[in-house]
Structure 1
């Protein structure tokens, strides 16, 4: 087990600022734990609006502080765009005050790690004499596609001609493999602006930290590293599910949702190994009523046991009487302890929207996937799941944009039932699981990058 390293003198102090949504908090929190285990002082910033759902003080060997995001505890924005606008208005001042507060102590801030879609943080940090670097919560492949979108060129031509997309270091892609925002902002102008702002000052950052690992995206990492100081430091999931070097690191530890943990685990314990389809579309994706019905009846047609996460806000979309009709087969919950579920021997596959955290968790735990992407980076992640890493199948969408119950049944059967295809997928899933563990273990590619980051910070600290 890796113990927290003891170093002489005061430790370098790092601030970590994620965008306050679950899929961005989790990986940046996990990276914070790794840095703390290497001897750094780490402060993770969480917004005032989340209030008591976020702990404060010293937790998991890191310091957690609230930062004013424009909302008091319990206040909620009506839309994502409204939240983004208030957040951008409030956080720069709050962040400046916090940095100035620490500058008057024995542990002034030496470096700030910020969510890559908040690039203005780097400008603010530099104005205060502090270095900084973005943390990317998406793959290198997706970031490369956003970059090519801004550059125009081959990607623009392919989209105009509706042809295959051929770009350096990437597999050949069809238009439906591209991140949804490459096609335009749609009804999310605020999100679109954030995504493409990532490149506004990228050349000025001293480190680009990535929640991926070299082996998973080797060609793309090499291509990006020829342009920027790219350092993959993932997978950022709790250590006890990977290398087991941080013995108290069994869960993310901060959740905006309340999981039905005991119910889920007891139910899974009662099922045969590899017999359950786990279904979850993350914290944001919302299906239409019709699509929810097709998913429900597709699960029933598969004849497999299923554990289905349906958030409270989505429950009314489940067909009437469905839970009663499938009580022998399935369990529907509003939230789950996803890592524990994926690690459970009863789970045979994960039907997922292919959000990057969920995808990386399944890869790291060796769980085959049925990919049903919704938006942003998910179509690209699904392409890699099915065709590059070959750890699952991707659901085909009908001409009307709907996924049918028959298609859902077909994909679950392909991944779950005995046959050559299932065996190939399971073999590949086990391979990537081993490589993910190796990357984070002592001397692994990601561990080396984290060690290098810490060593550079500490050498600068000693010079001052």
Structure 2
């Protein structure tokens, strides 16, 4: 047991870097307050995490849990960046194989005051209950996304409705909103929610319900100033404490810090040649590969828009249209592989962010005052995108309702709207105003402190284990 006022917290994130990175950021925030954190994941994932700052390394223990091999999954495939989306069932199985290693870790160091775990880790409350350790679900999602899942008592089995039958948000949302799931998204998400781990009949939907029923509190990556109505609704839906812990957005000092030493001079030199606010930054995260058709339409949309662009492209370069780079030479820059996104977005030449609408990317863009053009690909991205369009800090690219396809003309239309001198003015202004909330580190640090105070007041000696189903 840690001394009074200091905690030992175990973190168990999902096997995706879009989850592990926010977990690491939360770990650093708690470590800065003097708490000790054990961050648990597979060996390859631990090795690929960003370096922990030197002054926090004594407080953050990166623990490698080694699961047994999973049939059908290559040995070095341990996260969502390593496998295609249709291999989710293998990763779920790999995640479940961490249950025994977590128990072994607790046997060797049974001192944690709390376990903070992800939405897919349905077995974490079962393990925690054996040791009398209270738990928090931290999904690193917005309050809106959590709320759209509905109350824990409602089965999470979405039934896609044809476009002509779509009527609006679910019945538990009591206020008007444009945040609804499109037909093509509901088809995709229904498939995901119905997925089971290899050799199991437990669906993703039931996993999520089990994690939420078994925890003592819920933490969300948000703040009341950013999503006031959704946070109020989430608290009404869940009969347990709900904590907005801030947006975990990068500070300017972090963006310019030594952890970005892979910054390439050629990138900055090219951006330096562009006019202030003239250039579109394009990136779709690390966990989704665009199809040839999507790459083609996006590339031609950028080309015919005539705006300068910097495309951080992680896909197969052979999918780019023939002659595209040559035709846009000087006006466009295609950066292959990984790129330091926050630092690129911070450059004065960047005028807007064409993004998939992932929650981390959305926060990074708005933390730097960049308006958004949103072209979602999977998961919560469509909902995030419409929530940001509702707040008029960006626009959503028009899609075919049946299959989600889009055209180059739709891409160009959004670029001209957001980057246009007159029409885009209010959107750009709103994004700059939103920056005052998203980039307010003092505000978000206070929410982390309030969360940590709750953890201190309700540490393991004061709690009765949650009911575990």
Give the TM interval when normalised to the shorter protein: 0.7 to 0.9
Alpha-carbon distance in structure 1 between the residues aligned to 2:384 and 2:234:
18
Question: How many residue pairs align between the two structures?
Answer: 436
- Larger mean CA deviation between 429-438 and 47-56 belongs to 47-56
- 2:367 counterpart (364, 373, 377): 364
When structure 1 is superposed on structure 2, of 315-324 and 28-37 the one drifting more is 315-324
2:428 corresponds in structure 1 to: 426
Please say if residues 180 and 383 of structure 2, whose CA atoms lie closer than 8 Å, have aligned partners that are also in contact. no
Cα gap change, 1:456 to 1:320, in 2 (>3 Å)? same
1:25 aligns with one of 13, 20, 24: 20
Alignment of 1:98-247 (within 5 A): 98-103=105-110, 108-147=111-150, 151=154, 161-165=165-169, 167-169=173-175, 171-176=177-182, 180=186, 184-185=190-191, 189-190=195-196, 193-194=203-204, 196-226=206-236, 227=238, 228-238=240-250, 240-241=251-252
> How big is the shift at 1:204?
4.0
- How far apart are residue 12 of structure 1 and its match? 1.4
Task: Pick closer, same or farther for the CA change 1:201–1:16 going to 2, 3 Å.
Answer: closer
2:109 alignment partner, SS class = helix
- Report the counterpart of residue 43 of structure 1 in structure 2: 38
The 1-side partners of 2:386 and 2:241 are apart by: 26
Aligned equivalents of 1:369, 1:57: Cα separation in 2? 30
Q: Which residue of 1 aligns with 2:77?
A: 76
Q: 8 Å contact 2:9–2:37 — kept in the other structure?
A: yes
Contact preservation (8 Å) 1:356, 1:381? yes
Could you state the TM-score of these two structures normalised by the residue count of structure 1?
A: 0.84
Q: Which residue of structure 2 lines up, in the alignment, with residue 382 of structure 1?
A: 385
Task: Tell me, yes or no, if structure 1 residue 288 matches structure 2 residue 307.
Answer: no
- Distance (whole Å) between structure 1 residues aligned to residue 225 and residue 15 of structure 2: 29
- Judge conservation of contact 2:134–2:460 (CA < 8 Å) in 1: no
Task: State the TM-score, normalized to the length of structure 2.
Answer: 0.83
| Aligned-partner Cα distance in 1 for 2:169–2:460 | 48
**Cα gap change, 1:58 to 1:95, in 2 (>3 Å):** farther
- Structure 1 gap ranges (5+): 1-6
* Deviations 1:329-367 (CA, angstroms, capped at 9, x unpaired): 111112210111111111101001101111111122211
Name the Cα RMSD after superposition: 3.3
Distance across 2 between alignment mates of 1:188 and 1:321: 42
The 5-angstrom pairing of residues 338-357 of structure 1 reads: 338-357=341-360
SS in 2 for 1:98: helix
Q: Tell me by how many angstroms 1:393 deviates.
A: 1.0
Structure 2 alignment gaps of length 5 or more: 463-469
Counterparts of 1:428 and 1:92 in 2: how far apart (Å)? 45
2:12 matched to 1:14?
no
Q: Distance in 1 between matches of 2:377 and 2:288?
A: 7
Cα distance per residue 1:401-458 (max 9 Å; x no partner):
4211111111111111200x311111111121101234x41xx3x4343223322333
Q: 2: CA distance between counterparts of 1:310 and 1:249?
A: 20
Residue 340 of structure 2 is matched in structure 1 by 337
Deviates more, 1:369-378 or 1:313-322: 313-322
Q: CA deviation at 1:168?
A: 2.1
Moved more, 34-43 or 222-231: 222-231
